[in-house]
Amino acid sequence: MGDLPALVREARRAASRSGFRHSCDDRVGELLAVLAASVPTDGRVLELGTGVGVGTAWIVHGLAGRPDVEVVTVEVDPQLSAAAGRQPWPAGVRFLVGDAVELLPSLGRFALIFADAQGGKWERLDLTVDALGGGGFLLVDDMTPTAEWDEEQATKQSEVRAALHRHSALVTCETDWASGLVLCVRRR
């Protein structure tokens, strides 16, 4: 991996200042940037769980200043969202504060979704899949068990994995690369 993009470095510094330890792995970030670069003209990107903006920064890096793509990122914790929002984001990045489960039905359709919050992943994954347009990518990370996981987390992640693999509208692929990923595309 080369030097980190400036916005990612900024977001990592903000995460460090906030004591936030749940930002995405940089390898996941690189993949997010690749997927963001594939978003079709006038497509939209959704991140569930802004944290302090590291994942958002990777998405923005992949978009490389494209003015046609809207990025929506949802965070339930207003302080985290505010810390993320302090960075110099380009126009077209929207920070929403609220529970992903409550907001999802009103957000519309997306060409790329990074489901990185309990809401929309552990709870009501169906709403997240419904928000994915045909041909759109859904990325779920943190699928490889770690020593820090408690029983609830292990159970929830295993339910998420099973639900994604059996969903008839999705084509899925799983890898233990980085934090463990399930990458899905919605059939057209």
Ligand X SMILES: C[S@@+](CC[C@H](N)C(=O)[O-])C[C@H]1O[C@@H](n2cnc3c(N)ncnc32)[C@H](O)[C@@H]1O
CB 186 within 8 A of CB 136: yes
User: Which residue do the tokens 């809401």 mark?
Assistant: 119
Nearest residue (CB) to ligand X, 118 versus 153: 118
CA distances to 35, 102, 168, 184 from 135, in Å? 12, 25, 14, 10
Instruction: Give whichever of 39 and 50 is closer to ligand X, judged by the CB atom.
Output: 50
- Distance of alpha carbon 83 from alpha carbon 164, whole angstroms: 32
For ligand X, the closer of residues 69 and 100 by Cβ is 100
User: 22 or 165, CB closer to ligand X?
Assistant: 22
Residue 168 C-beta: closest distance to ligand X, Å: 26
Give the CA-trace dihedral at 156, 180, 65, 72, to 10 degrees. Answer: 0
Q: Smallest distance, Å, CB 142 to ligand X?
A: 7
Which residue's CB comes closest to ligand X?
A: 119
18: left (phi over 0), alpha (psi -120 to 50) or beta: alpha
Nearest approach, Cβ of residue 141 and ligand X (Å): 8
Residue numbers at the binding site for ligand X (CB under 6 A): 22-24, 47-49, 51, 54-55, 74-77, 80, 99-101, 116-119
Compute the least distance from the CB of residue 159 to ligand X, in Å: 16
170-175 vs 181-186, strand pairing mode? antiparallel
